[in-house]
Structure 1
Amino acid sequence: MKFLHSQYSVVPIIIMSEKVLIVDDEESILKGIKLNLGRKFNLTLANGPEEAQQLVRNEGPFAVVVSDMRMPVMDGASLMRKIKEARPETLCILLTGHADFEFGGSQALQSGQLFKILNKPCSPEKLGNAIQAAFDQINGESAEEEAPPPNVI
């Protein structure tokens, strides 16, 4: 564990992983995301929700999880809920091509379960911008926590 030392106290700093987990049941989608964003981000790919849960347990934490909505066994929204229960600090981005999720998705956004919802088809640039925005939020919060106390006169 790292510590922030100041003249007033020693505070532990929790370093958030910079890993991104991408979850989809279509191998071609995973390969496309890896090809387009793999040089910019540290990506781990999961072929479905079961593999994603195993990766979160064994290789986490992940700073950001991006998941498709419609997958067999478990949908992306349910997967995100489980991930947030285990790792509340993880920011979740949901990809959906279904307008019927819009209402439930806006509730999930307002409750903090989801960081963003992106409509499919989603360009690599748009997805990359959303992932970067998640990292910007993480870094903005941690910068505030690591700031030294103001000078006392």
Structure 2
Amino acid sequence: MNPPTALSSERAAEINEVIDRITRWARGREDIVGLLLVGSCARDAAWPDSDIDVVLLTAEESRHLLADACAVGLGLGGPIRTQSWGPITERRYATASGLEVELAIGSPTWAETDPVDAGTHRVVTDCARVLHDPAGILAGLLAAC
């Protein structure tokens, strides 16, 4: 079996730019109460076929689930999948270059710590990096995990 191909500097720059763009957008919105990067990008272990996985916690969950306006404005490309994972709904997009971006959209209850949901615990302990946490909700979750 051949080892995976290393991430090119161009793809790494694209990944970082998309993460920065999403983070700047979230910081400018009062309804976004948490933004958490998870998975291989959070571990700094992305491969060419890795996607960007971001948990977006919002006080206006339905607003972000009913429209792709934020994805269009962020340049995330076209929607390719919507899937419910319990308290989180995945909205997956593909950029023009083929980079996939998953926004896992949910309410702040996803980050509850008494007790921490088993699925949430699994996601967080796989590796998570806080991108935006104005009220400390995600810091509390990471500490509980």
Please indicate, yes or no, whether the TM-score normalized by the shorter chain is above 0.5: no
Greater helix share, 1 or 2?
A: 1
Greater strand share, 1 or 2?
A: 2
Q: Which has the greater radius of gyration?
A: 1
